[in-house]
Amino acid sequence: LTVLFIGDGAPAGNYSYTNSGYSVYEEENERLTESLRTKVSAIKSLSIEIGTEVKNQNKMLSEMDNDFDSTSGLLGATVGRLKALSRGSQTKLLCYMMLFSLFVFFVIYWIIKLR
């Protein structure tokens, strides 16, 4: 009776693949593992870059929000002053308009008279 041993001393009936098939599967497994490792490393670096970009964008948005707040405060103060100016000095403004109109009228009259 002869018993055949394949691989590293195990009987042939215990394994469904040969030693050479085992090494082929092992090599393919190592290649796929390395490919997966490369892809995971690329995804990791990409996610770190995305996180950095998000932090920069949030910082920029925060600065813009502060700028808009200060601008809206300044604009609100200016509009308030304009409202106060327009409410309080209607007669003064009307008087200045009348004086300006008279001045323009006399300048035009003087230019026509000199001709």
29-70 pLDDT tens trace:
999 999 999 999 999 999 999 999 999 999 999 999 988 888
4 has pLDDT over 60:
no
- Taking alpha carbons only, the member of 76, 50, 15, 84 closest to residue 5 is 15
pLDDT at 3 (0 to 100): 47
Q: What is the pTM of this model?
A: 0.46
